[in-house]
Amino acid sequence: LWTPANIVEDAIATVRAQVGDAKVLLGLSGGVDSSVVAALLHRAIGDQLTCVFVDNGLLRLHEGEQVMAMFAENMGVKVIRANAEEKFLSRLLGVTDPEAKRKVIGRTFIEVFDEEATKLQDVRFLAQGTIYPDVIESAGAKTGKAHVIKSHHNVGGLPEDMAFELVEPLRELFKDEVRKIGLELGLPYDMVYRHPFPGPGLGVRILAEVRKEYADILRRADHIFIEELRKADLYHKTSQAFAVFLPVRSVGVVGDARRYEWVIALRAVETIDFMTARWAHLPYEFLETVSNRIINEISGVSRVTYDISSKPPATIEWE
């Protein structure tokens, strides 16, 4: 019988049988899949699990603190937070091509993850939040004793010498099932039902060159947009919503002073499968509230635009 409780019970038994008393490492991103794996493995094997959370400086506002609060403080999961913002940002200097950015971010992720992993002793297993659609997507790819980390991170693989055995407790599940299991394991509704967030994070939402100044502005604008969507009960009526940083200056007037500041674009879409998407027809009054808040609260922004492009041809992300 498919009930979340049964699936959890089953998965716990399977994991225990597979890993015995060996140690397991998990890359925790804060996304739904890796969070559910963390909660599940923590319940199954407790302290045998160590998570590595890589803060690449391209996360949403307060995200690192939230991940640490939820898993380390509340649940007592062992989580190592690797603060690698400087490393990521310095590698990204001068990189403007979207695919090049993805590669830099992916490679740097592996390097940081690898550094943390090597510090740990006797780890035999690598856990991953692979779900059934990922399995189908990468059908034909090598499985088993592998050096793969989820395609989510857009990386080719871990270094050859890190030959872990894989633990993938969500391999047979669809996203909606993973969410139900997350709830069953006590994860909060808001985290389990959040919009997807790309592996390269804000790196592909800052057009052209990524700079810390831009990332800080974008994080605040994005936070306002999401906060207002939740407040207006519109968050779950959109499939994905976020802000984009446009590195162009536009004139604005505040009081008597002219400002020559950056532009923020808002993007919200409705979609079932993310292959096609319609721009979300958010109410004008709502957009007005968000725009006013962003311009008034963030001094580096003088103008807000709303993206009315559907996919195809426009992709959901701007890069």
Contact status: 196 vs ligand XMP (CB under 6 A): yes
Q: How far is the CB of 240 from ligand XMP (least distance, A)?
A: 5
Instruction: For residue 40, give the nearest of 66, 64, 56, 18 by alpha carbon.
Output: 18
Contact status: 200 vs ligand XMP (CB under 6 A): yes
DSSP reduced 3-state for 313: coil
Contact status: 315 vs ligand XMP (CB under 6 A): yes
Among 258, 274, 281, 308, binds ligand XMP (CB under 6 A): 274
Contact status: 38 vs ligand XMP (CB under 6 A): no
Kindly tell me which of 64 and 184 has the beta carbon lying closer to ligand XMP.
Answer: 64
CA–CA distances in Å: residue 172 to residues 31, 38, 191, 307? 18, 17, 21, 36
Kindly tell me which of 35 and 240 has the beta carbon lying closer to ligand XMP.
Answer: 240
Q: Are 177 and 3 in contact (CB under 8 A)?
A: no
Q: Are 52 and 117 in contact (CB under 8 A)?
A: yes
Q: Are 273 and 264 in contact (CB under 8 A)?
A: no
Instruction: For residue 54, give the nearest of 123, 115, 122, 131 by alpha carbon.
Output: 115
Q: How far is the CB of 286 from ligand XMP (least distance, A)?
A: 22
Q: Ramachandran region of residue 203, left (φ > 0), alpha (ψ -120 to 50) or beta? A: alpha
Stretch touching ligand XMP by CB under 6 A, among 114-122, 210-218, 252-260, 308-316: 308-316
Residues 6+ apart with CB under 8 A from 44: 11, 12, 15, 16
Q: Which two tokens stand for residue 186?
A: 């006590």
Site size toward ligand XMP (CB under 6 A) is: 13
Instruction: For residue 24, give the nearest of 168, 125, 114 by alpha carbon.
Output: 125
- The alpha carbons of the chain give a radius of gyration, in whole angstroms, of 20
Q: How far is the CB of 91 from ligand XMP (least distance, A)?
A: 16
Kindly tell me which of 50 and 154 has the beta carbon lying closer to ligand XMP.
Answer: 154
Q: Are 267 and 273 in contact (CB under 8 A)?
A: no
Q: Is 31 annotated as a binding residue?
A: yes
Contact status: 270 vs ligand XMP (CB under 6 A): no
Euclidean distance between CA atoms 12 and 164, whole angstroms? 20
Contact status: 307 vs ligand XMP (CB under 6 A): no
Q: How far is the CB of 186 from ligand XMP (least distance, A)?
A: 26
Contact status: 198 vs ligand XMP (CB under 6 A): yes
Contact status: 263 vs ligand XMP (CB under 6 A): no
Q: How far is the CB of 317 from ligand XMP (least distance, A)?
A: 3
Q: Is 250 annotated as a binding residue?
A: no
x-marked contacts with ligand XMP along 234-253 as a string, rule CB under 6 A? ------x-------------
Kindly tell me which of 26 and 44 has the beta carbon lying closer to ligand XMP.
Answer: 26
Kindly tell me which of 255 and 312 has the beta carbon lying closer to ligand XMP.
Answer: 312
Contact status: 102 vs ligand XMP (CB under 6 A): yes
Q: Is 90 annotated as a binding residue?
A: no
**Which amino acid type is present at position 59?**
L
**Residue 280, strand partner residues:** none
Q: Is 29 annotated as a binding residue?
A: yes
Among 50, 56, 130, 154, binds ligand XMP (CB under 6 A): 154
Do the strands 123-127 and 165-167 form a parallel or antiparallel pair, or are they unpaired?
parallel
In angstroms, how far apart are the furthest CA atoms of the chain? 70
Pick out the residues of the known binding site: 29-35
Binding site for ligand XMP (CB under 6 A): 102, 152, 154, 196, 198-200, 240, 274, 311, 315-317
Pick out the residues of the known binding site for ATP: 29-35
